[in-house]
Structure 1
Amino acid sequence: METLTTRVFNNGNSQAVRIPAEFRLDTDRVSITRNEAGDLVIHPLRVPRGAALMQALQALGEVDGSFIAALDAEQSKPLPAQEREGL
């Protein structure tokens, strides 16, 4: 697993971390947590796609509530944490 060192800088009253191109995220929102070891864990938040398609399928009666609930449950599952070596 690749490990890179990057910069932390102040951005107003917050801190920001420069994410190298090798770890580029395909979203503009993330959730951030701290695990028991004190490590920060960043999870990209998926952009809700297909909302118009889902509405059209619902209007046609092709999709029911249980199908939508199953999709929501699947999307809300966090991605597994990656094993990384400490610096």
Structure 2
Amino acid sequence: MQTKVFQSGNSQAVRIPVDFRFDVDTVEIFKQDNGDVVLRPIPKETQNTFLALFENFDDGFIEALENRENPQIQERETL
């Protein structure tokens, strides 16, 4: 099946026919070694699991991160 490629702002976009419609908000895109471009849906459960990881950090942990002192930048010889 063929479809149209068009400009959307500074990006190139592809019109996806209804038979190939995604049921998710986010897809992974990558190019295979042979040059094929692949779109793979990222399940909502994966997105929710990733976001749920941050719920385990309490306010004290976040505050400690915000208030920590960063080490000084080290001077090194050029390679």
Shorter chain as denominator, the TM-score bin is 0.5 to 0.7
Cα separation, 2, equivalents of 1:12 and 1:20: 21
Please tell me whether Structure 1 or Structure 2 has the larger radius of gyration of its CA atoms: 2
CA RMSD of aligned residues (A): 2.1
Q: Percent identity?
A: 46
Greater relative contact order: 1 or 2 (C-alpha under 8 angstroms, separation 6 or more)? 1
Give the Å deviation of 1:49. Answer: 5.2
Cα separation, 2, equivalents of 1:49 and 1:31: 16
Look up the match of 2:32.
35
Structure 1 residues not aligned, in runs of 5+: 56-87
> Could you tell me the TM-score, scaled by structure 1's length?
0.50
Moved over 6 A (4+): none
> Could you tell me the TM-score, scaled by structure 2's length?
0.55
Look up the match of 1:7.
4
